[in-house]
Amino acid sequence: MMLDWNEYQKELLATIGKIAQLSPDVVRGYRTLSEAGQKTGKLDGKTRELIALAVAVTTRCDGCITVHTDAAMKQGATKEEIAEALGVAIALNAGAALVYSARVMDAYAAKSNAEVARAK
């Protein structure tokens, strides 16, 4: 196992509790934002947690991974459903790398054109 995820989650939540004591408005604001999407009722809890896991992977947030894996399992998400959501995250990261590769090539072209113009 790469990490004791259960212990990590316990330690993380304890530390966030300490942050809440120091900056209660910040943590309250985060909770308000986090809970806002649930109020629409358009997505069920399991779908929301599967999306959260995909986003957690793309943002590389270990805390998000442990909290939302736990929540997804409590919402009834299976290992196979989680793996499919992670497949979406993997594909999106590859797609983002491809899109940003195109931006690099565009930047290269713009800089090359600027050099040619200066040389004239």
pLDDT 10s digits, 41-69: 899 999 999 999 999 999 999 999 999 99
Collect all residues with Cβ–Cβ distance below 8 Å to 77 and sequence separation of at least 6. 46, 49, 50
Q: What is the pLDDT of residues 16-45, one digit of tens each?
A: 999 999 999 999 999 999 888 888 889 999
Residue 34, pLDDT score: 87
Q: Identify whether 21 is part of a domain.
A: yes
Q: Identify whether 97 is part of a domain.
A: no
Share of the chain above pLDDT 90, in %: 83
Structural domain boundaries enclosing 15: 1-42
Residue 14, pLDDT score: 96
> Which residue from 53, 35, 39, 46 is spatially nearest to 92, judged by alpha carbons?
53
Residue 8's CB: how many other CB atoms inside 10 A?
A: 15
Q: Identify whether 95 is part of a domain.
A: no
Judged against a pLDDT cut of 80, whether residue 1 lies above it is answered with no
Q: Report yes or no: 66 and 9 within 8 Å, Cβ to Cβ.
A: yes
The Cα 88–Cα 36 span in angstroms is 24
Joined together, the tokens standing for residue 81 give 């459903």
Q: Identify whether 18 is part of a domain.
A: yes
pLDDT band at 118 (very low <50, low <70, confident <90, very high): confident
Q: Identify whether 79 is part of a domain.
A: no
Q: Identify whether 13 is part of a domain.
A: yes
Q: How many domains is the chain partitioned into structurally?
A: 1
